[in-house]
Chains A and B, each alone.
Chain A
Amino acid sequence: MATGPDPIIGERSSLSVMAEGNPVAPSVLIVDDEEDLSWILARVAEKAGWSVRRANSGDAALRLLDPSCSSPAGHQSLGFEPFLAFVDLMLPDFDGWELVRRLRSLCPDLRFVVVSGLLDADAPRVRRAVKSGEVAGFLAKPFPLEDFRDWLNRNVDRRVCSPASTEP
């Protein structure tokens, strides 16, 4: 891209998954500025039969979900409706919690797993969020891939979220 690195990574691959005639494949969104990590997680998720989109910033993630927002690079949400999102709590442009709130307003049924380098004991906010149902779970980096797969498996039979057009 002439404007710099593509902020939405892996779109092509997930599009190709969808284009391969598997439109019912459950979709997952991975938001992490550590692109090597999101790349590996995307591979793991794809291997498990998921359609994956990655974003390396909060802004990129919002653009992926917001149908009204068309990016200068020409990306469109193209009806991408994930029902599980892994969100890193420390993003260059967003506080992870704020991003969760914004994404939820776009896609109310979206479930979240927050990911952080912090220790869970260190983040009472995480405990409160999990307790209140604000997020489904938490992964502390580094984590066993098994835990990541667990979250995928637990959500595999969920329906895609409804469009956010009804949100105020």
Chain B
Amino acid sequence: MDAFATPHDEPSGFQANSESIPLVGSATETVGELQPSVAAETSNDGAEAGAEARYERLYRMVLDGTPTSVLIIDPQHKVVSANANFLLKSRTRESEVVGKRVEAVFPSVIAECLNLTARLRRAFATGEPQGGERINYRAPGSPSRTFFYRLVPFKWAGRVESVMLVMEDVTEIDRLGREARRAERHLASVVESASDLVVSMDRFGRILTWNTAAERITGRAEASVFGLPLVELAQGCDQATIRAALEGLSAQKQKPSISFEAELKHADGRAIPIAWVVSSMRDESGGFVALGRDLTEPRRWRDQLLRAEKLAALGVMAGGIAHEIRNPLAVVSCAAQMLLEAESEEAARLADPAAELRRQCAEKIDKGVRRVAAIVENLLRFARTGARERSTPLDLRTVAAEAVELTRHPARLRRVDLSVQLGEEPLPVMGVADLLRQLLVNLLLNAIHAFEEHDHHPSSSEEAEDVSSKVGAVGRVELVAFPRDDSSDHAPSCRWIVVEVRDNGPGISPEHLQHVFDPFFTTRPVGGGTGMGLTIAHAIVREHRGFIELTSEPNQGTVAIVTLPRLDDAAGRESQHDPFSSPFLAAERVFSVSRPLRGGN
């Protein structure tokens, strides 16, 4: 480029030159670098001058066409030229700018803020670009705008002839950036505050983000799962389910989402049931977004509901059967008793072996009938405890203390350390003392029977005490009772009494755990237990409008949790007048509001 080849050493000439063409306006300043050559080459032949004019026009055009504001500044800090964009943005005319000191072109606040004078000086002195910052500039009568600016020295023959101040309007970019960041923060807070798992994955199903809920539900920190395929957090056929879902989404891009259930492994090894909705990410990455809802709690409630329904249905049936059986049973029982009496007399009188045989047979019939009668009675008890009709206000601590006393002996036989914590405050409930006592005895015996009976059967309780103190208790059973308030938005007054019976026995396997409330379910040998203990416990709790559940950890122990509606003080006072109806109705009002939440804080 000839135009650039011409040496040009005279800054004053440049200045004079530039000043000589103020009206050329933006075009002139656009080609700031060229002006020296223009000035130098005007003395050359006309053809070259024509070429210069062409270049000049071309560069003016380029500079005016650029969306960036450009000022050319001479060593005296005077503006040599300003391009169209600058004039537009600053709402000035060229005559107001060109030839002025640059510090005067900008409002003084901005000039100071930019440290313009010092920076220009440095640019001229060092030849190094300066700036690279953002400034806000507000021209009179227009909204504030943000500019990115930079000072670029133009060196010619080792000297800085001029400095180009380049300013770019980044207002829009800034705004978009801020908006993007705000949207991002907004989204992040939504994702983070979600109670469901929100997981994003790359196209290989590897975890990219993992929200707080996911951390909480799985016990795994985001850092520990980053980059890990989600599949690896599942087990067995659930791995295949997740893999198939992701592959299905990849194969069918138009498919909006896939829903399925798959368990994830908690950090502690538990399996967490989760309902998933997985979608393809709406971008080109080919990644996925997975939303997962923890089903542990809903399943627990569903199971409890199913169990209650099942037991209620069984109760109706058991009640019917039991009643029908009792009539013929009474016949057999009375006949056997009569026969037994008759044959006992006969055998004693005659010393007749045949009479003795008949007596023994009658005895066995009688014994068998008693067993059947006991089962039927349990069935009836389970079918209907009559709690609602007989309820009176009572302090559960009294009942609990009695129940513990009743189970001291079996506890000693198994060397179980039986303890009780009832607190200082009364625990008022509406209920039937003997039923609640039976409930707690059943739970305590259940816990005590988790431990093996010791081979040596002490003949007296003193001896038992002695043995247990010598060898030390192998097992611990603890009854704890306390009040609990559930504060919930929609149920203001849910006050409960909770009784927990805990043991440190071998625990109950998950497959047994789901059957423990079923009638006649027992793991003990035939004759060792009726299998009705927990069934009746469930029935009693149900009739007291409470809830019962069993949680168990293999080799850690079992906890039976009974939650009963707490009797309000007001209801308790009412009950003084009418022990049958009003307190119960009052209690009912309170109890029917909501179910208790486990460990509800």
From residue 445 to 459 of chain B, which have CB atoms closer than 8 A to chain A? none
Contact partner of A34 (CB less than 8 A), chosen from B323, B327, B435, is: B327
CB-CB under 8 A from A117, the residues of chain B are 322-324, 326-327, 330
A40-B338, A43-B338, A122-B384 known; A141 and B329 CB under 8 Å? yes
Contact assessment for A44 and B380 in the assembled complex, using a CB-CB cutoff below 8 Å: no
Contact assessment for B338 and A34 in the assembled complex, using a CB-CB cutoff below 8 Å: no
In this assembly, does B313 line the interface, its C-beta being within 8 Å of a C-beta of chain A? no
Contact assessment for A142 and B384 in the assembled complex, using a CB-CB cutoff below 8 Å: no
A118-B380, A119-B380, A121-B386 known; A37 and B331 CB under 8 Å? yes
* A125 (CB) vs chain B CBs: closest residue: B389
CB-CB under 8 A from B361, the residues of chain A are none
Expressed in whole angstroms, the Cα–Cα distance for A117 and B331 within the complex equals 12
* A120 (CB) vs chain B CBs: closest residue: B386
Q: Quick one: CB contact mask for B308-329 with A, threshold 8 Å, 1 for yes?
A: 0000000000000011101111
Contact partner of A142 (CB less than 8 A), chosen from B334, B338, B381, B386, is: B334
5 shortest interchain CB distances as A-B pairs: A117-B326, A142-B333, A141-B330, A142-B330, A124-B389
Q: Quick one: CB contact mask for B154-183 with A, threshold 8 Å, 1 for yes?
A: 000000000000000000000000000000
Give the Cβ gap from B499 to chain A, nearest Cβ, in Å.
21
Contact assessment for B390 and A124 in the assembled complex, using a CB-CB cutoff below 8 Å: yes
Known: A142-B326, A142-B330. 4 other contacts (CB 8 A): A36-B335, A141-B326, A145-B337, A145-B341
CB-CB under 8 A from B385, the residues of chain A are 121
In this assembly, does B373 line the interface, its C-beta being within 8 Å of a C-beta of chain A? yes
Contact assessment for B380 and A37 in the assembled complex, using a CB-CB cutoff below 8 Å: no
CB-CB under 8 A from A118, the residues of chain B are 323, 380
From residue 10 to 67 of chain A, which have CB atoms closer than 8 A to chain B? 34, 36-37, 40-41, 43-44
Contact assessment for B373 and A142 in the assembled complex, using a CB-CB cutoff below 8 Å: yes
A117-B327, A122-B380 known; A40 and B390 CB under 8 Å? no
Q: Quick one: CB contact mask for B357-377 with A, threshold 8 Å, 1 for yes?
A: 000000000000100010001
Expressed in whole angstroms, the Cα–Cα distance for A40 and B332 within the complex equals 10
CB-CB under 8 A from A119, the residues of chain B are 377, 380-381, 384, 386
Contact assessment for A145 and B338 in the assembled complex, using a CB-CB cutoff below 8 Å: yes
A119-B380, A124-B390 known; A37 and B330 CB under 8 Å? yes
Give the Cβ gap from B378 to chain A, nearest Cβ, in Å.
10
Give the Cβ gap from A148 to chain B, nearest Cβ, in Å.
8
Give the Cβ gap from B330 to chain A, nearest Cβ, in Å.
4
Expressed in whole angstroms, the Cα–Cα distance for A44 and B330 within the complex equals 14
Give the Cβ gap from B328 to chain A, nearest Cβ, in Å.
8
A117-B327, A121-B390 known; A41 and B384 CB under 8 Å? no
In the complex, how many residues of chain A place their beta carbon closer than 8 angstroms to a beta carbon of chain B? 21
Contact assessment for A141 and B380 in the assembled complex, using a CB-CB cutoff below 8 Å: no
CB-CB under 8 A from B327, the residues of chain A are 34, 37, 117, 141
Contact assessment for A44 and B338 in the assembled complex, using a CB-CB cutoff below 8 Å: yes
* B386 (CB) vs chain A CBs: closest residue: A121
* A115 (CB) vs chain B CBs: closest residue: B330
Q: Quick one: CB contact mask for A116-145 with B, threshold 8 Å, 1 for yes?
A: 011101111000000000000000111111
Chain A residues in contact with chain B, CB under 8 A? 34, 36-37, 40-41, 43-44, 117-119, 121-124, 140-145, 148
* B377 (CB) vs chain A CBs: closest residue: A119
Expressed in whole angstroms, the Cα–Cα distance for A43 and B338 within the complex equals 9
Expressed in whole angstroms, the Cα–Cα distance for A121 and B435 within the complex equals 10
Contact assessment for A36 and B331 in the assembled complex, using a CB-CB cutoff below 8 Å: yes
CB-CB under 8 A from B338, the residues of chain A are 40, 43-44, 145
CB-CB under 8 A from B384, the residues of chain A are 119, 122
Expressed in whole angstroms, the Cα–Cα distance for A64 and B338 within the complex equals 27
Expressed in whole angstroms, the Cα–Cα distance for A141 and B435 within the complex equals 21
Expressed in whole angstroms, the Cα–Cα distance for A144 and B338 within the complex equals 10
* A148 (CB) vs chain B CBs: closest residue: B334
* A33 (CB) vs chain B CBs: closest residue: B327
Expressed in whole angstroms, the Cα–Cα distance for A117 and B324 within the complex equals 8
13 residue pairs of the A-B complex, CB under 8 angstroms, read: A34-B328, A40-B334, A41-B334, A119-B377, A119-B380, A119-B384, A121-B435, A123-B386, A142-B330, A142-B333, A143-B330, A145-B334, A145-B337
Expressed in whole angstroms, the Cα–Cα distance for A34 and B334 within the complex equals 12
Contact assessment for A121 and B326 in the assembled complex, using a CB-CB cutoff below 8 Å: no
From residue 400 to 432 of chain B, which have CB atoms closer than 8 A to chain A? none
* B340 (CB) vs chain A CBs: closest residue: A145
Expressed in whole angstroms, the Cα–Cα distance for A145 and B435 within the complex equals 27
Expressed in whole angstroms, the Cα–Cα distance for A140 and B330 within the complex equals 9
A142-B373, A145-B341 known; A34 and B330 CB under 8 Å? yes
Expressed in whole angstroms, the Cα–Cα distance for A36 and B341 within the complex equals 18
Expressed in whole angstroms, the Cα–Cα distance for A41 and B330 within the complex equals 11
Give the Cβ gap from A52 to chain B, nearest Cβ, in Å.
14
CB-CB under 8 A from B326, the residues of chain A are 117, 140-142
Expressed in whole angstroms, the Cα–Cα distance for A118 and B386 within the complex equals 11
Give the Cβ gap from B451 to chain A, nearest Cβ, in Å.
31
CB-CB under 8 A from B389, the residues of chain A are 124
Contact assessment for A37 and B334 in the assembled complex, using a CB-CB cutoff below 8 Å: yes
CB-CB under 8 A from B334, the residues of chain A are 37, 40-41, 44, 142-143, 145, 148
CB-CB under 8 A from B381, the residues of chain A are 119, 121
CB-CB under 8 A from B328, the residues of chain A are 34
Contact assessment for B337 and A144 in the assembled complex, using a CB-CB cutoff below 8 Å: yes
Give the Cβ gap from A136 to chain B, nearest Cβ, in Å.
19
* B328 (CB) vs chain A CBs: closest residue: A34
Most buried by A among B331, B334, B369: B334
Give the Cβ gap from B30 to chain A, nearest Cβ, in Å.
105
CB-CB under 8 A from B390, the residues of chain A are 121, 124
Contact assessment for B330 and A122 in the assembled complex, using a CB-CB cutoff below 8 Å: no
Most buried by A among B322, B326, B327, B435: B327
CB-CB under 8 A from B332, the residues of chain A are 142
Contact assessment for B331 and A34 in the assembled complex, using a CB-CB cutoff below 8 Å: yes
Expressed in whole angstroms, the Cα–Cα distance for A133 and B213 within the complex equals 66
CB-CB under 8 A from A34, the residues of chain B are 327-328, 330-331
Contact assessment for A142 and B329 in the assembled complex, using a CB-CB cutoff below 8 Å: yes
Most buried by A among B333, B341, B373, B385: B333
Give the Cβ gap from B266 to chain A, nearest Cβ, in Å.
45
* B378 (CB) vs chain A CBs: closest residue: A119
Expressed in whole angstroms, the Cα–Cα distance for A141 and B332 within the complex equals 11
CB-CB under 8 A from A40, the residues of chain B are 331, 334-335, 338
